[in-house]
């Protein structure tokens, strides 16, 4: 892997072929997110090169991300707080609606804003050390990075409310059961599994990947009749792509593997 010179202090960027690996890099702060780090994430997703096919997101050190760096919060007024939250919204929208899929590898603390970042990814791989919390209720604050929209879609309003009201912490097994992760792996196995998934994703037709991450979440929010119409449009566009025609032809000619239990 080759290290990119951009944002190496707070966000390490490495390339592995078509995969861009971004690492939150404040290990001494458990990768707590300050303004510099959230802006570095924003810049990274604003400047994805055309040859990137998938992004792998992880945290340096013992934790994925322990949330918002509260040392920057205490002096903000209401107006500044609104602008700060909207800055997070803009950044995590760029992550969720990136032109390529994002695979997040979670270990250790996945807390508060860290869980909001993870929720914006398209696939989440959790190691057994991962644990999830939303301590905003105990801090006298509220989620501000889009968690109130994304997390209920993963785990439900009631579970999220429980975490915020009582300080309940989910371990990796519980997080897997309630939908906070897609894959649960052993300690130290997350990056390998995440990389393998990213490589598999890179093998898909780019337009198909784009359709899944851009159209699917929007269709899910539409009324059924509108959603089904948009589905028809996206399906027609995808199947008309030359890459799709080549893959269908390969399947019909016996040159592509059939779906099998893994």
Which CATH number do you get for residue 219?
1.10.12.10
User: CB of 65 within 8 A of CB of 117?
Assistant: yes
Tell me if 189 is assigned to some domain: yes
Residues 35 and 57 in one domain: yes
184 and 134: one domain? Answer: yes
Residue pLDDT, tens place only, 88-143? 999 999 999 999 999 999 999 999 999 999 999 999 999 999 999 999 888 888 99
User: What is the domain count for the chain?
Assistant: 2
Residue among 9, 136, 226, 253 flagged as catalytic: 136
> Buried b vs exposed e over 87-96: b needs ≥16 C-beta within 10 Å?
bbeebbebbb
Q: CA–CA separation, 248 vs 186, rounded Å?
A: 36
Pair 164, 211 in one domain: no
Is residue 24 classed as helix, strand or coil in its secondary structure?
Answer: strand
Domain identity same for 63 and 175: yes
Distances (CA, A) of 170 to 10, 61, 125, 173, 237: 27, 21, 15, 8, 41
For residue 258, tell me if it sits in a domain.
Answer: no
Answer yes or no: is 259 within a domain: no
Residues 6+ apart with CB under 8 A from 154: 119, 178, 179, 180
pLDDT tens digits, 62-94: 999 999 988 777 677 899 989 999 999 999 999
Contact by Cβ (8 Å): 57, 240: no
Q: In which domain, by residue range, is 230 found?
A: 206-252
> Which of 9, 75, 80, 116 is an active site residue?
116
* pTM greater than the 0.85 cutoff: yes
72 is catalytic: no
Residues 170 and 119 in one domain: yes
Mean pLDDT of the chain: 91
pLDDT tens digits, one per residue of 193-231: 999 999 999 999 999 999 999 999 999 999 999 999 999
Question: Would you say 124 and 180 are in contact if contact means Cβ atoms under 8 Å apart?
Answer: yes
pLDDT of 255 higher than 70:
no
Task: Give the confidence band of 3 by pLDDT, cuts at 50, 70, 90.
Answer: very low
pLDDT at residue 244 in the model = 63
State whether 66 and 51 are in the same domain: yes
Q: Are residues 18 and 125 in the same domain?
A: yes
The answer to whether residue 174 is catalytic is no
Confidence of residue 258 (pLDDT cuts 50, 70, 90): low
- Predicted confidence at residue 260, as pLDDT, reads 66
**162 belongs to a structural domain:** yes
Q: Using CA atoms, how far apart are residues 252 and 248, in angstroms rounded to an integer?
A: 6
Is residue 46 one of the residues assigned to a domain? yes
> Could you tell me the CATH number of the domain that includes residue 170?
3.90.226.10
Same structural domain, 242 and 113: no
Enclosing H/E stretch for 212: helix 206-220
């Amino acid at each position: 892997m080759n290290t990119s010179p951009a944002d190496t202090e707070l966000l390490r960027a490495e390339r592995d072929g078509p995969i861009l690996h971004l690492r939150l890099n404040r290990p001494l702060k458990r990768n707590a997110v300050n303004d510099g780090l959230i802006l570095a994430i924003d810049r990274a997703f604003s400047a994805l090169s055309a040859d990137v096919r998938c992004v792998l997101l992880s945290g340096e050190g013992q934790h994925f991300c322990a949330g918002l760096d509260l040392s920057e919060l205490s002096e903000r007024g209401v107006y500044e707080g609104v602008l700060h939250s909207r800055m997070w919204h803009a950044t995590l929208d760029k992550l969720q609606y990136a032109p390529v899929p994002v695979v997040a590898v979670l270990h250790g603390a996945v807390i508060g804003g860290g869980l909001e970042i993870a929720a914006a990814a398209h696939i989440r791989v959790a190691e057994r050390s991962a644990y999830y919390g939303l301590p905003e209720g105990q801090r006298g604050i509220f989620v501000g990075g889009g968690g109130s929209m994304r997390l209920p879609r993963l785990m439900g309003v009631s579970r999220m409310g429980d975490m915020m009201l009582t300080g309940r912490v989910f371990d990796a097994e519980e997080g897997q059961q309630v939908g906070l992760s897609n894959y649960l792996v052993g300690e130290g196995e997350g990056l390998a599994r995440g990389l393998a998934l990213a490589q598999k994703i890179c093998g898909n037709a780019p337009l198909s990947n784009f359709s899944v991450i851009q159209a699917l979440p929007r269709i899910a929010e539409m009324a059924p009749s509108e959603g089904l119409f948009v589905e028809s449009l996206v399906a027609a566009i995808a199947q008309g792509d030359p890459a799709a025609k080549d893959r269908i032809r390969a399947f019909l000619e016996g040159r592509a593997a059939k779906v099998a239990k893994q």
